[in-house]
A and B are shown apart, each in its own frame.
Chain A
């Protein structure tokens, strides 16, 4: 089974801090994603990456950046955390081997970030 591991389950940070959320997958997937989940809004795509050192903005990239230096690792960076970034952050990965690019996503357990 694919394993997507997020480094922290819970994080509490102060406004203005730089925050790193780490995600590692062990199945050699090409694609990796960062979503945030908020009640009533479902999951919204922040950034994704289809290859090492490649990144693309999702629907809500403002206030975030990402880094993918190795295929298995995808980091989400909050340059200066703000209270409106308090949320559940979900990392996911997928492969292109399903006969199309629309493969299912494999998710980590999530990181619940609170910014005070």
Chain B
């Protein structure tokens, strides 16, 4: 069975601090995809990144970076020099190839507060 665990329910930081959001997943499939989504107060989830299980290279996009480690089944997300606009709920998600890509399983989400 597939499962995504985001152990951090809420994180509060002060602007310009670095913050890491943890994500641990479980799957029996050898081919799978991991995602991060951001849900700002407006409510619309926004896609941030997708990684497949064969690509363990870390990804950096501006102040955002992602660390994918199959050995620990983790796909952590780091925001460098956080800003107030980063305040949102962040979801990690998993989609197995075996489900045809139709079933994306989400973690419970981590609410990030960035204070000015």
Contacts and interface: CB of A to CB of B under 8 A. Distances in A.
Are A and B part of the same complex? yes
Contacts, number: 67
A110 B43 contact: yes
Interface string B31-49: 0110101000011111100
B16 interface: no
A48 B104 CA distance: 11
Given A90-B45, A107-B45, A109-B43, A42 B109 contact: yes
B102 A56 contact: yes
For the side of the interface on A, what is the size category? 20 to 34
Contact of A58 (B6, B45, B103): B103
B64 to A, nearest CB: 15
Interface residues of B, number: 27
Interface of A: 31, 33, 35, 40-45, 48, 50, 56, 58-59, 88, 90, 92, 94, 96, 98, 100-110
24 contacts: A31-B102, A35-B106, A40-B108, A42-B4, A42-B6, A42-B107, A43-B45, A43-B106, A48-B102, A48-B103, A50-B100, A56-B102, A58-B103, A88-B43, A92-B45, A101-B102, A102-B33, A102-B95, A102-B97, A104-B35, A105-B37, A105-B45, A105-B104, A107-B37
